[in-house]
Structure 1
Amino acid sequence: MCAAGAKGTTRTQIIKALYAQSLAKLNTQSQNICNNIIKPLSDQIMVADQLYAALNITIKQSYIKTLTKYYSSNITELDFVNAPVGAVDAINNWVANKTNNLLPTIIAPGDVNALTRLIIINCLYFKAQWLTPFQTTATTNQTFYLVNGSTTQVPMMSSQGLYEYFNASASIQAQIINIPFNTSSKRLSLVFTVILPDNNSNLTTVQQKLTNGILNTAFTSNKSKYIVLSLPKFKSEAKYELTNALQQLGIKAVFDQQKADLSGITPTSTPNLSVTKVSHGAVIDVNEAGVEAAAATAVIIGLTSVNAGEALQFNCNRPFLYMIREKTTGLLLFIGKYTGVTVSAYELSMTI
């Protein structure tokens, strides 16, 4: 949504960081994802976009039409000058409602002031049951090996059966498994993908070697193996300020009031606007029944000052990567890592 209102170098940097070919294709891709994936799975996935604008600020009709057509976004006016606390509460309540209260807040009172002009919000909520639920009676405390070499006890869920499996030891020193969800659409298929480092490897090595090519090979192999699966039961949540990370990806102009060009949103007579802060929050809850997850991003714009043979043991008793994906299209909804220590876990949602 920010790219849709950007021009010049500001737009080019955002488009490049998103690996899009053009703004038109980015808008169309967002619309297609919504129509072809999100809507058919509306009882399991919810995406919502919202633009909050300061009172009396003029928004270009062309920008409003773009948000409505491609992002199904609404525009709400709030009084950032005289009632900043009320504005923050209204935004946080909207996010809480859209994420089933998994994310009660996305912005803080200090994020909004008299110079705030626009706040763009994107929310993603996911809830799905496993195709084959884990039995609660089989969950027991087991040893988990932390990054620093020490151990801790975590509740470990257990199950066995045929799972899609890919041995990536030769390329990234890891094993990859797909745990299927009970997907409501017959045309689409939701899975929880786990990338588990080999015993003689570690998460850092796997992350350094991981490429799109390797993932594409693994995701299209569709080979099944009889597996005895052990997966931690966990809940993680995190919040981040993404300005530095986005700048490292090459998105710089939009944060510089002297260089930012958001003239696609407001008339050129409006004083130069720039992004002052980007906040991201995410929560994921993995249990015997399934997975519930949510993520939200706030962009604050203002004036600056197979055959069952011998069973394979797939024991997630060490740090691993995980993803929530729609298999048919390859759409990535959530990606994160579980390290056994809640504060070091992270979840990032794709902006869709």
Structure 2
Amino acid sequence: RTETVDFGNAEAAADAINAWVKEQTQGLIEKLFQAGDFDAQTRLALVNTLYFEGKWQYPFPKDATQDAPFYLERGETRQVPMMRLSERLPYLKGEGFEAVALPYGEGDYRFYLFLPDKGRTVADLRQQLTPENSGKWLGAFRVVQGSVQMPRFKIEAKYDLKSPLSALGMGVAFDPDRADFSRIAEVAPERLFIQKAIQKAVVEVDEEGAKAVAATGITVGVTSVPVDQFNMVVDRPFLFAIVHQPSGAVLFLGVVRQPGA
């Protein structure tokens, strides 16, 4: 969809784009741009959204949710709504962490939750999360009977993508003297260039499932311990991923350090 806006009226332009983003993300992202994101050089805004809503294959019973402590990395404790589920689920006991997979619907999508062992941090786990290790981990889960206690949560984050995109080889696109987007529009003697690249993501998880939207190391062995049963209490910061099982594509990847409503 292409729409003409007047970037000379930055507030009206931001409102028009944000209204479209809000509609596409079912209201989860209400404001992607601020008026201050546009200036006299702004000629074009490219906006993309991704919306995911999954219902758990095995919903958490709402009457089982109770407040329980969640231990933050800086030593503080918060009381959070802790959901509880007993079911046969894909589980992995790895080296320095444990993980569970919660399937959505028919199972084509899964929510993977990786919990560092007590005494370890999410930063330790992220060092282990190399492409090689993640592939091994996902293939090592085994379905066993167990129980999971995990918090309801909603996280929201906004990222400036200029540095990572430049590091991936897109630096020229941000250079007003070298960028070439003449096939999009010819504005000679000016040049079109990418002025700013931002992404905002929201992930919300409750007893029924998850909603997720986005508007845009060290190699360690995959040693796993066979288990017949597990009891996983997610009462400290953890890492999660929403994965499309048939392709292995990771739709969302994030860290929850403090659950929020």
Give the TM-score, by structure 2 length. 0.89
Check if 1:174 corresponds to 2:93.
no
Out of 223, 234, 240, the residue aligned to residue 316 of structure 1 is 234
Percent identity between the two aligned chains? 33
Q: What is the CA-CA distance between 1:327 and the residue it aligns to?
A: 0.7
8 Å Cα contact 2:154-2:259 kept in structure 1:
no
Aligned equivalent of 1:302: none
In the alignment of these two chains, the number of paired residues is 251
Check if 1:336 corresponds to 2:261.
no
Task: State the distance in 1 between where 2:56 and 2:68 align.
Answer: 22
Amino acid in the other structure paired with 1:160: S
Cα deviation, 1:273-327, whole Å, max 9, x if unaligned, reads: 2211112111111111111121112xxxxxxxxxxx7531111111110011111
The secondary structure found in structure 1 opposite 2:31 is coil
Q: Which has the higher helix share?
A: 1
Amino acid in the other structure paired with 1:337: V
Task: State the distance in 2 between where 1:250 and 1:201 align.
Answer: 34
Out of 118, 135, 155, the residue aligned to residue 44 of structure 2 is 118
Amino acid in the other structure paired with 1:175: E
Task: State the distance in 1 between where 2:133 and 2:183 align.
Answer: 39
Check if 1:233 corresponds to 2:152.
yes
Cα deviation, 1:162-189, whole Å, max 9, x if unaligned, reads: 11112221xxx22221101114xxxx61
The secondary structure found in structure 2 opposite 1:77 is coil
Structure 2: tracts of 5 or more residues without a match: 217-226
The secondary structure found in structure 2 opposite 1:252 is helix
Check if 1:87 corresponds to 2:3.
no
Task: State the distance in 2 between where 1:154 and 1:342 align.
Answer: 8
Amino acid in the other structure paired with 1:78: V
Matches within 5 A, 1:132-281: 132-169=58-95, 173-183=96-106, 189-267=108-186, 269-281=188-200
1:147 to 1:222, Cα distance in 2 relative to 1, 3 A: closer
Aligned equivalent of 1:102: 28
Q: What is the CA-CA distance between 1:342 and the residue it aligns to?
A: 4.6
Out of 124, 127, 135, the residue aligned to residue 53 of structure 2 is 127
1:76 to 1:270, Cα distance in 2 relative to 1, 3 A: farther
Amino acid in the other structure paired with 1:79: D
Task: State the distance in 1 between where 2:24 and 2:231 align.
Answer: 39
8 Å Cα contact 1:241-1:279 kept in structure 2:
yes
